[in-house]
Structures are given as structure tokens and as C-alpha cells.
Amino acid sequence: MQPCVLKSRESLDSAKVNDIEDGAQSLVIRNIPYQYTAAQLEDDLAELGLENHYSRLYLFLNRKQTLNLGYALVTLKSTDRFESFKQRLQRYKFNKHGSRFCKGATVTLSHSCIIPDELKR
């Protein structure tokens, strides 16, 4: 799966809030180091054994597209995967790839998933 990277303002201005797909759940991962890329985040999720838990991963970037905003939206494949995903990722420290950021991740449910029109398939 190829992760998506979204520009914060431009993508959110044109975005629509969509209902979550049947049997899926959307969540937010917070406290991601700003220098992390979507590929690095995806690598960490794979190392934790979570690569088959989600269908979409969105990492939002600042306007200059040089840093992320510290959070990502993830759409899980099914609602029963949330607890497993949360247990493995909660308080996880993103310290790989040269990051010195040491605050642990937080995982919370999102009531909707923001998907820009240009990314819908």
C-alpha cells in the first residue's frame, strides 16, 4: 500500500467529511515527529505488525511540505482491529530514522475520515 501525504490547508479546504466505510474505523495517531515521512511511519507500523490492520494512511504536511504536522489519520480495515492497533502503538516512541523526538504516540478514535476529492478512488 502506498501512503498518502496531504498538504494541510490546501487539501483540507477542498476536503469533504465522509462516512467511514462499512465495517471500518478511522483513528488519529498523534505525537509523530515532524521530520517523519509517510514511508517512515509506514515502516514503523509494519515493524509493529500493523501493516494488515489498515487500508489508508494519511500524513498531513505543513504548507512548505517540509515537515508533517505531528498527526496522521488511519482507516482500519475493520472495527475489531482498533484495540489491537491501539495496544501496540499507544506510547510507542518514534525514535527511528534519526528522530530525537521522545514523546510517546497517542491513538484515538476519529468520528469521521477526511478524504480530499482527488484521493477518492
Q: Give the start-to-end residue ranges of the domains of the chain.
A: 4-114
- Cβ–Cβ contacts within 10 Å for residue 108, how many? 11
DSSP state of 49: T
Predicted TM-score of the model (pTM): 0.71
Question: CA–CA separation, 3 vs 111, rounded Å?
Answer: 21
Q: Which residues pair with 98 in a beta bridge?
A: none
3-state secondary structure of 24: coil
Residue pair 32/68 in contact by the 8 Å Cβ criterion: yes
Q: What is the mean pLDDT of each run of 10 residues along the chain (121 residues)?
A: 44 37 74 90 92 90 88 88 89 76 82 52 41
Sign of the CA dihedral with 78 first, then 88, 109, and 13 last: negative
pLDDT tens, 85-106? 999 999 998 877 666 666 889 8
**CATH: 3.30.70.330, 3.50.50.60, 3.30.70.360, 3.40.190.10. Which one for 4-114?**
3.30.70.330
